[in-house]
Chains A and B, each alone.
Chain A
Amino acid sequence: MPTLAHYLIVSGLLFSIGLAGVLLRRNILIIFMGLELMLNAANLSLVAFSRFNLLSDGMPNYNGQVLVFFIITVAAAEVAVGLAIIVALFRAKQTTHVEDLTTLKF
């Protein structure tokens, strides 16, 4: 039977993988995938907290689960705008690598 700790460990791993992807990878699309992983890590632990820390009447705390819906929606909006920007950048520069973003410098 998995406990709260198991879920939190998985979500911590997801968050770390996402963060590592953002910091270490050089392709903007992969960086973007890392960002989505970070958001989903938060979703997983929110649902776990809500499911395991029951209120006094034995019901889960639905605030956390409502927040998950908002996060999913906002993440979708962010992807829509983000991919549009990346496509526009690719049209202008023919690249999706962060090393090529050098127009703005000291």
Chain B
Amino acid sequence: MIQPIALEIIVVCLGILLLMVEAFSSKTSKTPLAYAAILGLSVVFVLTFFVQPSAAGLQESGFYVLDPLALFFKRFALVATIVTLVLALDYLPIVQRLVPGERPGAGSGEFFILPVFTCAGLMWMASAADFIVIFCALELVTISLYVQVAYLRRSIASLEAGTKFLILGALSTGFFVYGITWIFGTVGQTGLEAIRQALPGVPEAAQPAMIFGVALVLVAIGFKIAAAPFQFWVPDVYQGAPTPVTAYLAVASKAAGFVILIRVLEPFFTVIAFQEKLFLALVLLAGLTLLFGNLAAIPQTNFKRLMGYSSVAHAGYLLVGLAAIGDAFAGRAVVFYLCGYLLMTFLAFLILVPVSKASGGDDIANFNGLARRSPALALAMLIAAASLAGVPFTVGFFGKFFIFEAAMKQELFGLVLLGVVTVACGFYYYFKVIRAMYWQPASEDAAPVQVSVLSRLAIAICAVLILVLGFYPQLLIQILP
């Protein structure tokens, strides 16, 4: 039996080891590093099945918790990182072209190693039960993502995206820390469990300060999960960042934000005085996010930007699920949605990378005529788009269905109505991609699309899982915490 915290330590050590190898080896090809990272993370993924989640959850120190939810999100982070590395392998030629270096291959090794550190941060975040740990894990993830977003130093778009991400990320850190300060000031604790116990004893006079703190923390997490009105960095950063990093941001960083949101809000939901205000804040956030994400996505022509707005929209559906958290099934519905979201987002990006490599751009127009150039890829993209839109018999449909069902039980009829209307919007803008693939002629000079073996495998797995879970969602629900 291994100690639970060993998982994170192994991942960090793996990252440091790879960095050392990168620094001291004279090889110009950096792909072995990526394979080593994928292999190492897969081993850690297997190891997670030998860790016993403790029923009591809390370790003695109160800093680290290993309940089934934490373990589930550790696996989620590992899978997301592995798929990101597969994407990064495909993306390597572009990295090599856009990163200056004295020798060929110089400067591209870290592109495979930084996600390993981000993964360690995500895993820590899943287990964090104290504001100090949450803060450190969050920063490990964010700071390593700053570097990854701005990685292509010859691409002005990437640098601009990095700068915007840096400034807004640091701003949200400022809000987060100041919020923690006020919570600490009124309750006198930083541990979430200790806060839960101390909350009922908070005097009436101190409650405004408390609410101020919680509101600041909520704003900061709103930045991380891309909820409107804190979403304005998303489209620019998603468009400018290297495509694998965009996918990573969309999936892992968002999932981590939701884990923190669930964990942080839990103690505050137990106090009646806060319950109503928090509930109202969540409903407002969810409604705004749904509206903004879906409406702003309609006129987009760049695929990565479209995915950015689509990720805002998905955050909206997830927030609806959180607002309905009173329902017993809502928590599992949110986790189910996140899993489906991982599958369909990665599937879309796995196809985008080879397509944009062959046709030289990330616009929807670059998908023109894909159905004739490579029917298999077009079919996979069709599945991804259908699932993102929420067509029945895909995992995306059941994700939305479970969330709306939970919301109906909690009598959030307005939000459900808004959700259904915005799903209809979603059909329109995802359909644009399908129309480009099946009804538009390919441009004359379109090169054949080549896909590496690993990517093919990942595409096949994602596409099949989307369909299988679309028919038998209970397969996944059974193993959810």
Residues of A at under 8 Å CB distance from B? Answer: 8, 11, 15, 18-19, 22, 28, 31-32, 35, 38-39, 41-42, 45-46, 49-50, 53, 55, 61, 63-64, 66-67, 70-71, 74, 77-78, 81-82, 85-86, 88-89, 92-93, 101, 103-104, 106
B420 within 8 A of A: no
Q: A45-B185, A63-B189, A85-B163 are in contact. List 19 more A-B contacts (CB 8 A).
A: A28-B163, A28-B167, A32-B170, A35-B174, A38-B177, A39-B177, A63-B184, A67-B184, A70-B135, A71-B135, A77-B139, A81-B166, A82-B146, A88-B150, A89-B159, A92-B156, A104-B235, A104-B240, A106-B299
Please judge, given known A-B contacts A67-B131, A85-B159, whether A77 and B143 are in contact too, CB under 8 Å: yes
> Complex: how many Å from CA A46 to CA B190?
11
Please judge, given known A-B contacts A49-B184, A85-B162, A101-B160, whether A64 and B190 are in contact too, CB under 8 Å: yes
B442 within 8 A of A: no
Contact between chains at A78 and B156 (CB < 8 Å)? no
Name the B residues within 8 Å of A71 (CB-CB). 135, 177
Name the B residues within 8 Å of A11 (CB-CB). 181
Name the B residues within 8 Å of A41 (CB-CB). 178
Contact between chains at A103 and B160 (CB < 8 Å)? yes
Please judge, given known A-B contacts A35-B174, A67-B180, A104-B160, whether A92 and B154 are in contact too, CB under 8 Å: yes
Interface centre among A31, A61, A77, A81 (most CB of B within 10 A): A81
B371 within 8 A of A: no
Name the A residues within 8 Å of B175 (CB-CB). 38
Contact between chains at A42 and B159 (CB < 8 Å)? no
Contact between chains at A22 and B167 (CB < 8 Å)? yes
The residue in chain B whose Cβ has the minimal distance to the Cβ of A102 is B160
> Complex: how many Å from CA A35 to CA B177?
12
Distance from A79 Cβ to chain B, minimum over Cβ atoms (Å): 9
Q: Nearest 9 CB-CB pairs, A to B?
A: A38-B174, A49-B185, A42-B177, A104-B236, A35-B170, A74-B139, A89-B159, A63-B190, A42-B178
Contact between chains at B170 and A78 (CB < 8 Å)? yes
Distance from B139 Cβ to chain A, minimum over Cβ atoms (Å): 5
Interface centre among B136, B167, B180 (most CB of A within 10 A): B167
The residue in chain B whose Cβ has the minimal distance to the Cβ of A11 is B181
Please judge, given known A-B contacts A42-B177, A42-B180, A81-B146, whether A101 and B166 are in contact too, CB under 8 Å: no
Q: Give the dominant DSSP class at A's interface.
A: helix
B164 within 8 A of A: yes
Name the B residues within 8 Å of A38 (CB-CB). 171, 174-175, 177-178
Name the B residues within 8 Å of A18 (CB-CB). 174
List 24 A-B residue pairs with CB atoms under 8 Å apart, sorted by A's residue number: A28-B167, A31-B167, A42-B180, A45-B182, A45-B185, A46-B181, A50-B184, A53-B188, A70-B132, A74-B139, A78-B170, A82-B166, A85-B163, A88-B150, A89-B150, A89-B159, A89-B163, A92-B156, A101-B164, A103-B157, A104-B157, A104-B235, A104-B236, A104-B239
Distance from A34 Cβ to chain B, minimum over Cβ atoms (Å): 9
Contact of A42 among B132, B139, B160, B181 (CB under 8 A): B181
B153 within 8 A of A: yes
Contact between chains at A103 and B156 (CB < 8 Å)? yes
Distance from A38 Cβ to chain B, minimum over Cβ atoms (Å): 3
B416 within 8 A of A: no
B161 within 8 A of A: yes
> Complex: how many Å from CA A22 to CA B169?
12
Interface centre among A45, A66, A103 (most CB of B within 10 A): A103
Distance from A106 Cβ to chain B, minimum over Cβ atoms (Å): 8
Distance from B24 Cβ to chain A, minimum over Cβ atoms (Å): 22
Contact of A85 among B136, B146, B188 (CB under 8 A): B146
Interface string of B232-271 (1 = CB under 8 A from A): 0001100110000000000000000000000000000000
Name the A residues within 8 Å of B173 (CB-CB). 35, 39, 74, 78
Name the A residues within 8 Å of B191 (CB-CB). 63
Interface centre among B161, B163, B189 (most CB of A within 10 A): B163
The residue in chain B whose Cβ has the minimal distance to the Cβ of A52 is B185
Name the B residues within 8 Å of A45 (CB-CB). 178, 181-182, 185
Name the A residues within 8 Å of B189 (CB-CB). 63
Contact between chains at A85 and B150 (CB < 8 Å)? yes
Interface centre among A32, A45, A82, A104 (most CB of B within 10 A): A104
Name the B residues within 8 Å of A53 (CB-CB). 185, 188
